[in-house]
Structure 1
Amino acid sequence: MTLRHARRIGGATAAVLAAGLLAAPGAAAVPGEAVTDPKALPAPGFAATGVRTDACDDTTAPGWLEVANPVLTVSATSPQVRFKVWDDSTPEHDKIVDTAVDVTGGTARLATSGLADGHSYSWQTWPAYDPGSGKPAPTCHFRVDLTHPGLSVSSTDFPETGSGTTPGKYAGENGVFTLKGLDAAPAGGQASGVACYQYVLNGSLGVGWDCASGHTVKAGADGTAQLTLKPKDWGTNLLTVQAMDDAGNVGQPSTYAFYAPWDPRPKPAVPGDVDGDAVPDILLPDAQGNLQLISAAAADTTPSSIVPAALAPAHAGWQDYQVLHRGWANIHGPGDDLVVRPKGNGGGLYVYANWSKGDFSDRLPTFAWKPSDCLDPAGGSIACPEDYAADWSAADQLVAVGVRTGTEPSLPTLLSVEHGKLYAFIDTGRGYGYAQPVATTGDWSGYELIAPGADASGNLTVWARERATGTLHAYPVTRTSDDLLDFSALADPSANVVATGFTTAAYPTLDSAGDGDGDGKPDLWAVTPDRHLVTFSGWSAPKDLGALR
């Protein structure tokens, strides 16, 4: 390693050490030799967007690095490559490196060191030692940020413990927390700015996260973010937050303690509600496989809470499962239990008991066997159809309609489509005890079942989308004198058209969580091809809530 020259960074003089700084005697360029594919390692970029760029033109914004010693590399056909590096943040745009490096295996590498915090740099390479011969690579650019960001947390809904301010919300209600970042710029330099925050309520922060990870919220242009969280339990809660700047520097975790008072107001039991706030919830996986609980009354796609990916049956994320909910069997309701089925016509069915307002981390799921007995609507034993399957694998569709009776807690009654036939599965107190053939003559294979739940009067319906046309049908489900569900209206799938335009091209996913807007009638929701969440009032007045995480 040879001392080549001294350089000035931010007014100070520093020595640069690099391997192969002197050209070999007699080195000469060969016409036509070229250097290509210039790269800095690690790759400069922007943590907020995940974009990585070497900015080898005059229009692309230079990315950020969180290290002072990137390695600059190029591919080359010449025996040597000449590197030049300029500090664009100094008044004279000082050239701080001008050296030749041997090419090994078609690649030349220059190890830098001591780059200044907050400075911008340009660099370029040429074949051999003579910059006037051969074809140079384009000039590339990057910026350096070595300072870790800080942050503060505040909330008027749940003030910090010791502030003397009375909370404006109760446990079980959403509260807004303001996260304000600080990414100070060094003298004579720039800061990359706060990009995002990782957060956890009453838990430990993870490692190896980025701005696309679960439990993160991106910062606005001013470095602040609004975080909406729902403390489920009354008492003292701890919100832990960590900031990341655009260069990828991570600050120290900050813990915000606050008190959530017990809510004395009684909450009604609302099938479709998972987190116990008496509003139905939309359940969808995020990009990391976590299960998002998004209120059907939400104004955007911010989840009120998240069920971690590791709690899915195979512990690898919820993206591979269909999650149903519309009732509860345990005595700790009213939050819906989850009925979970592997996608792709999996044969298993799992029940997650909801004992903690949407926190399913305290108990293992139980397996729900498919019943082997069939009964008619009057309760008489009948032979199951010959093509009735012994497990859930033959169910092309499965939806949760509602509870078995209007007065008793139970797992939701399920409807399935098997070989074009429609079946109902009834909870008898110890799991699904029997199947009821609902429609064995009409062909349901071209219809997509939707279970909107009950209206304000407790009346149930089943909706269905005709996949070929986007036509929406609605079938009333009344209750018998014994307070049981009567599915006789579902004998003909083509009956009862109520709306059109719900094509699979416009809405690949179409479903209902129940009454989200509080008008006493159930509502549709949909996911568009670009993963925007759209809610409806009934089946009209679509409202785009924005992109899903």
Structure 2
Amino acid sequence: MLSTTRLLAAGGVLTLAVGLATAPSASAATGLTYSNPRATPTPSNYLGVQTDACDSTTTPQWIRNTGETPTLSVNVNVPAGVTTVPTISVTDETTAPFTSAFQAAAPVVNGIASVQVPNLKDGHSYSWRAWSVTGGMPSASAKCHFRVDTTLPTVSVSSTDFPASGSGLTPTKYAGQTGTFVINGSDAASGIACYYVSLQATPGFGGGCSGPNAVKPGPDGSATIQLKPTDWGSNILQVEADDVAGNATRYQYSFYAPSNPHPPQALGDIDNDGVPDILLPDAAGNLQVISGGSGTTTPTTVIPAGNAPGGAGWTNIELSHRGWSNTAPADTVFARNLASVATRGGVYVYRNQGTPGIESGRQATSAGKPSSCQDLTGATITCPADVAWSGADQMVALGPVDPQAPTAPSLLAVEHGDLWLFAHGDLLWGEENATKLTTAANWAGYDLIAPGPDAQGNLALWARDRATGELHAYPLPKKADGTIDFSALADPTAHVVASGFTTAAYPTLGSSGDLNGDGTPDLYGVTADRHLVTFSGWSNPKDLGALQ
């Protein structure tokens, strides 16, 4: 008589006695010996844990729906002259008393005994072993365990903010506004492990419920999520329900997001929620859109690395945004690939209606560079030798500078140590004016930061001295005719307002405008250990936590 004690998943401790046939004592023959008992497919779970649980302590895992009948196999050493055929027995241990579920002879072929086990019941727990009796001497393999879940989970989605297409219900929210979606799912055997959700064209599912778009359900299997459909018109929310066994069901929820007739407008905002956004790459090269008013580092949108210019990620992409055309009420985003001299010669322009075209992988247009140049008086001057944008050491979107186009973007660049403004025209066609703002060629050692206008509409340029860590704030007030006074830019060493912003402390320093709604633009920085820090103006730092 062999016995084993097992702690079941339900918490009870049961003792199972398995009797092996014995014969009267006779001359003891050498019996079969067993090793490596295993099930195919290997019992596993959604985390990727695989185990045959051939002991009394390991938690049994699941045989899920693979479309194949499970096979139980064991290596068998057969001594010379022994003709015993092993038996494989399967016991249903779901509830006491345990019952036999399957038993069959398993002839040894090439040192392996195998049987297929049909008709296993969904949600049941099983143990199994191979055994034999040779010359009255019993022998057996270790007893292994598994559970069965071959039924796919069910999943559905509902929303009163954005009802399902064809439901006859009217949406109560607009594109660019956050709506509530309720996911309901069930799985009787192993239970729902998580849901994956995506409004993007190519969803990223899988990853052991740890990905950025994974949502854990509550005790009843449901999950309530907040999502912002940025594109007006028809949208598809893609959901995958994964159960603990690793079975998956995909579901598409189609809905309509109407265009907002009165969208909020705020410089620095790219998703039409009226709050400026911070754009930063994550550790994997994806681009994170972080709402400046959220108080956390959790992105509202993650734009895949493959959507970046060149397709190699956003880490080396110089991004700036401040202003839009009349047809696009959210910031136009400018992107330049700094990976090489060749790639930095192109400026990609993403005009959007509350979603940067980069989010859905839309084709960007290119910003042309004008071939004629002028000074601050409007007199024609010789343009730099670099016709392409590759001559710009750095570039920022300064903000609106044209009194005739109060939301139109402009670009400010450092070329050969001087500041050049590209504005008052169409950046797509190179028809804007190229204006040389400085002449002393002494701006090469500064990081430009464009905070945008304050509540009164006055612009400024901030700059970090890379050698000292000093922060400069140069006022760019409006003149009586509505044009901008750039005289403060003549001396980059002037207008020091703060210190301590070294490149070691803050490798990244920038501004997306007024983050806290007090009417004054705010600074943000990323520390060496990738923490996002925001400031009120340039003081009172607030650590929002680690970036992804």
Q: Check if 1:283 corresponds to 2:272.
A: no
String of CA shifts for 1:491-519, please: whole Å, max 9, x gaps: 44343333344444554333211112211
Q: Which amino acid aligns with 2:353?
A: S
Cα deviation for residue 547 of structure 1 reads 5.2
- Give 3-state SS (helix, strand or coil) of 2:452's partner: strand
Q: Which amino acid aligns with 1:438?
A: T
Confirm or deny: 8 A CA contact 1:534 1:543 kept in the other structure: yes
Whole-angstrom distance in 1 between the partners of 2:113 and 2:395: 58
Cα deviation for residue 461 of structure 1 reads 1.6
Structure 2 residue aligned with 1:344: 339
Match among 395, 399, 405 for residue 398 of structure 1: 395
Structure 2 residue aligned with 1:21: none
Cα deviation for residue 274 of structure 1 reads 1.8
Match among 166, 178, 194 for residue 174 of structure 1: 178
Structure 2 residue aligned with 1:13: none
Normalising by the residue count of structure 1, what TM-score does the alignment of the two structures yield? 0.69
String of CA shifts for 1:206-261, please: whole Å, max 9, x gaps: 58654689883322554544432234466775544332234432214142646x56
Q: Check if 1:332 corresponds to 2:327.
A: yes
- Give 3-state SS (helix, strand or coil) of 1:423's partner: strand
- Give 3-state SS (helix, strand or coil) of 1:452's partner: coil
Structure 2 residue aligned with 1:512: 511
Change (3 A) 1:304 1:474: same
Structure 2 residue aligned with 1:416: 413
Change (3 A) 1:235 1:85: same
Confirm or deny: 8 A CA contact 2:65 2:152 kept in the other structure: no
Confirm or deny: 8 A CA contact 1:320 1:343 kept in the other structure: yes
Q: Which amino acid aligns with 1:275?
A: D
String of CA shifts for 1:368-427, please: whole Å, max 9, x gaps: 233444422222223356xx5333334332211112324416753223334554433335
Structure 2 residue aligned with 1:535: 534
Q: Which runs of 5+ in 1 are unaligned?
A: 1-24, 126-135, 186-190
Confirm or deny: 8 A CA contact 1:352 1:364 kept in the other structure: no
- Give 3-state SS (helix, strand or coil) of 2:390's partner: helix
Confirm or deny: 8 A CA contact 1:297 1:516 kept in the other structure: yes
Whole-angstrom distance in 1 between the partners of 2:504 and 2:121: 52
Q: Check if 1:376 corresponds to 2:362.
A: no
Superposition map of 1:138-537 within 5 A: 145-158=149-162, 169-185=173-189, 191=190, 193-200=192-199, 206=203, 209-210=206-207, 216-220=213-217, 222=219, 223-232=221-230, 238-255=236-253, 257=255, 260=257, 263=260, 266-267=262-263, 269-285=265-281, 291-305=287-301, 311-315=307-311, 317-329=313-325, 331-345=326-340, 346-358=343-355, 360=357, 364-384=363-383, 389-408=386-405, 412-418=409-415, 420-429=417-426, 430-431=429-430, 432-438=432-438, 440-445=440-445, 447-467=446-466, 470-528=469-527, 531-537=530-536
Whole-angstrom distance in 2 between the partners of 1:212 and 1:319: 26
Normalising by the residue count of structure 2, what TM-score does the alignment of the two structures yield? 0.69
String of CA shifts for 1:453-490, please: whole Å, max 9, x gaps: 11111111222234455443322223345534333323
Cα deviation for residue 439 of structure 1 reads 5.7
- Give 3-state SS (helix, strand or coil) of 2:442's partner: coil
Aligned residues: 492
Whole-angstrom distance in 1 between the partners of 2:278 and 2:324: 16
Whole-angstrom distance in 2 between the partners of 1:248 and 1:322: 41
- Give 3-state SS (helix, strand or coil) of 1:328's partner: coil
Whole-angstrom distance in 2 between the partners of 1:61 and 1:440: 73
CA RMSD of aligned residues (A): 5.1
Superposition map of 1:101-120 within 5 A: 117-118=122-123
String of CA shifts for 1:304-352, please: whole Å, max 9, x gaps: 45556555433555445222211224x3122122211113253332343
Which structure has the bigger radius of gyration?
2
Change (3 A) 1:348 1:103: farther
Change (3 A) 1:443 1:453: closer
